[in-house]
């Protein structure tokens, strides 16, 4: 758990996350643009807050916008502002978000959803450090630190001609990839404890060992956002201790294979992961489930999966799951 000067909290015990946070300390002191990469729900906005409040701009404005939340026809005015009379209903002049973030940080979430016309104007602002309001004729100087976020690999969008290469290189000065929760399941108990304290501060709620086992074996396709929402629901109805029967069916479903396939299908169709990434996710989760069924016994897990012990060992190493297996003895 780390706190910024203004108490933004990132909860983790994952070595990979600790390494990322160590980089953030160095990154925050600069004015370099940061590109946060990660699936929906991993906490990219929280990292943007953390970067800002660790930086020399901590007491300056922090302005956030999800670029997918507004129609493209309104986004230009929202970002860059407009002059009075610039278009119908522009009764008064309006400062855009770049102006509002002057001397501070502007967080542009879902940069991958921006239309090409807006991409070109964003690039001009970033290169010139000047904003031209819609309907305006005089550029307005700005001093803004840019943090962007994408839920997909922007390089693939560049290769497909969907995202401008020059804008990508402009925002990709310092890329930070935030791992999904399924790749740092050791954080689940810590996060649940944090959210229980947040949503039920007046009651001490425990989680039974068997319930925690299920929670740590679930693949969390919705990442930390899903964990937070489920914990909030559990805290509302819990009677002192959260038991297996209190958990939602998506976590304790009777057919683990169906759940795994469904979770990975969500990754493919909702999170825009590549086919190879989805296959890797499915393979990793199948290995976890086999080890769970086998009680950590590698030989038994290999038999359940219909593969040789040597192949299982290679795949466990590939997915970083060796610590979840015990002796290979039958």
218 and 242 housed in the same domain: yes
- Both 128 and 196 in one domain: the answer is no
Domain extent, residue 198, equals 181-253
3-state secondary structure the chain: CEECCCCCEECCCCHHHHHHHHHHHHHHCCCCCEEEECCCCCCHHHHHHHHHHHCCCCCCCEEEEECCCCCHHHHHHHHHEECCCCCCCCCCCEECHHHHCCCCEEEEECHHHCCHHHHHHHHHHHHHCEECCECCCCCEECCCEEEEEECCCHHHHHHCCCCCHHHHHHHCCEEEECCCHHHCHHHHHHHHHHHHHHHCCCCCCEECHHHHHHHHHCCCCCHHHHHHHHHHHHHHHCCCEECHHHCCHHHHCCCHHHHHHHHHHHHHHHCCCCHHHHHHHHHHHHHHHHHHHCCCCHHHHHHHHCCCHHHHHHHHHHCCCHHHCCCCCC
Q: Are 92 and 232 members of one domain?
A: no
> Can you give the pLDDT at residue 330?
34
Do 43 and 159 have their domain in common? yes
Share of the chain above pLDDT 90, in %: 50
Same-domain pairing of 89 and 232:
no
Is the pLDDT confidence value at 163 over 60?
yes
Tell me: do 145 and 232 sit in the same domain. Answer: no
Residues 80 and 175 in one domain: yes
Q: What CATH number does residue 199 fall under?
A: 1.10.8.60
Tell me the CATH number at 277.
1.10.10
> Which position has the higher pLDDT, 94 or 4?
94
> Is the pTM value of this prediction over 0.75?
no
Confidence of residue 280 (pLDDT cuts 50, 70, 90): confident
Residue finishing a domain among 223, 253, 283: 253
Residue 23: which CATH number?
A: 3.40.50.300
Could you tell me if 207 and 153 lie in one domain?
no
Looking at residue 197, its pLDDT comes to 92
Q: What is the mean pLDDT of residues 29-47?
A: 94
Q: Are 6 and 128 found together in one domain?
A: yes
Highest mean pLDDT among 60-64, 85-89, 324-328: 60-64
Please tell me whether residues 134 and 280 are part of one structural domain.
no
Q: What is the pLDDT averaged over residues 233-237?
A: 90
Report, as an integer, the average pLDDT of 49-78. Answer: 90
Judgement on whether residues 173 and 97 belong to the same structural domain of the protein = yes
Confidence band for 119, pLDDT divided at 50, 70 and 90: very high
pLDDT band at 87; cut points 50, 70, 90: low
pLDDT at 329 over 70: no
Summarize the confidence of residues 44-66 as an average pLDDT. 94
- Looking at residue 89, its pLDDT comes to 65
Across the chain, mean pLDDT equals 85
Our count of domains for the chain comes to 3
Q: Tell me: do 275 and 142 sit in the same domain.
A: no
């Amino acid at each position: 758990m780390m706190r910024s000067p203004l108490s933004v909290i990132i909860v983790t015990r994952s070595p990979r996350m600790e390494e990322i946070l160590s980089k953030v300390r160095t990154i925050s002191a600069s004015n370099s643009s940061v590109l946060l990469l990660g699936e929906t729900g991993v906490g990219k906005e929280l990292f943007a807050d953390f970067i800002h409040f660790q930086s020399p701009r901590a007491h300056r404005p922090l302005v956030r916008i999800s670029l997918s939340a507004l129609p493209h026809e309104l986004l230009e005015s929202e970002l860059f502002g407009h002059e009075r009379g610039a278009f119908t209903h522009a009764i008064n002049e309006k400062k855009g978000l770049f102006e509002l973030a002057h001397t501070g940080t502007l967080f542009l979430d879902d940069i991958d959803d921006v239309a090409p016309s807006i991409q070109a104007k964003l690039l001009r602002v970033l290169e010139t450090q000047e904003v031209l309001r819609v309907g305006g004729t005089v550029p307005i100087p700005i001093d803004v630190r840019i943090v962007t976020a994408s839920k997909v690999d922007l390089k693939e969008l560049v290769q497909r001609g969907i995202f401008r290469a020059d804008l990508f290189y402009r925002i990709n000065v310092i890329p930070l990839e935030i791992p999904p929760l399924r790749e740092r399941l050791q954080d689940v108990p810590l996060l649940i404890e944090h959210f229980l304290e947040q949503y039920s501060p007046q009651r001490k709620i425990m989680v039974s060992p068997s319930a925690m086992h299920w929670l740590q074996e679930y693949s969390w396709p919705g990442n930390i956002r899903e964990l937070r929402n489920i914990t909030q629901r559990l805290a509302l109805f819990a009677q002192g201790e959260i038991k297996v029967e209190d958990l939602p069916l998506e976590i304790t479903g009777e057919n683990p294979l169906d759940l795994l396939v469904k979770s990975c299908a969500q990754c493919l169709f909702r999170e825009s992961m590549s086919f190879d990434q989805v296959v890797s996710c499915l393979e990793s989760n199948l290995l976890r489930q086999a080890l769970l069924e086998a009680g950590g016994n590698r030989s038994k897990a290999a038999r359940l999966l219909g593969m040789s012990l040597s192949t299982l060992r290679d795949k466990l190493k590939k997915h970083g799951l060796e610590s979840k297996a015990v002796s290979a003895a039958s």
